[in-house]
Amino acid sequence: MKKLLHFIIIILLTVVTQIGGILYFATILVIKNNTEKRNLKRIFTFVALYLFSTFFVVPHIAKLFGREKIKETEIIQANTFFTKLLNRNYVKPSLNNVLQKISINFEKKQKGIKIIYLDANFPFIDKFPLLPHLSHNDGKKIDLSLIYELSNGEIINNKPSISGYGVYENPKKNEIKQFDICSKKEYWQYDFPKYLTFGRINKEILFSKKATKDLLNSILKQPEIGKIFIEPHLKIRMNLKNSKIRFHGCKAVRHDDHIHLQIK
């Protein structure tokens, strides 16, 4: 049973962080079963090894795989520290450059409003899945948060969930209800992000049509952009007609809680 438990932990840590499984296995090898206070020492060793690797070793090795950490500025920031702790904040240098240009353009339109990123990619190996995403596996993709406002129209940096996912800007009565269409086709996973909020917060905030459109237009100005995914009803609501903004398909999940963008 202990071997099975170790195996499950290794798989889970690998799925969530990419490097955690290997580091946990190394910890087991170093701290033998007959070691006094074995479990406590294993926990301490793993945490220390993981933190050191994540923040001091991985960024250097990632360069060998053509990836680097997202360059944070006053405008570009992670929604949560856990994105960085779990090594889900790596992109190709070209995407980093695009993000910087997007931020410069967007800052001219919305002073003081941040571009908040969610999941990007792991640091190593193309085609290694970043679950639950289908395509965040080559350093070319990133999710950005929608932008919100208060009831008086003031644009703010707050988000409606801890993770940044799972709180949807649902279609209005006269808009396309893509969720219903995909549900009727039995794509059960389409609505799954509602279970990944890790807690809903700032319930008083509202979707900002203007500021989110400004962000999307700043993205579209970059010729390196290949595709953008948002829900069809939001594309129509914001009167965006660029062909790079596409429907992602029912095999994916809902995109009325975030913007997915990728470079060519």
Q: Could you read off the pLDDT of 55-109 as tens digits, one per residue?
A: 999 999 999 999 999 999 999 999 999 999 999 999 999 999 999 999 999 999 9
pLDDT reported for residue 73: 97
- pLDDT, tens digit, for every residue of 213-250? 999 999 999 999 999 999 999 999 999 999 999 999 99
Length of the chain in residues, anyone?
A: 264
Per the CB < 8 A criterion, the answer to whether 174 and 144 are in contact is no
Nearest to 87 by CA among 54, 111, 48, 127: 54
Q: pTM of the prediction?
A: 0.94
Spatial neighbors of 38 by CB under 8 A, at least 6 apart, are 31, 32
Is 71 or 37 the better-scoring residue by pLDDT? 71
**Residue 36, pLDDT score:** 85
* C-alpha–C-alpha distance, residues 76 and 86, integer Å: 18
H or E element in which residue 233 lies: helix 232-237
The residue among 80, 72, 119 whose CA lies nearest residue 100 is: 72
- Band the pLDDT of 34: cuts 50, 70, 90: confident
**Contact between 178 and 172 (Cβ < 8 Å):** no
From residue 38, alpha-carbon distances to 49, 52, 161 in Å are 16, 21, 38
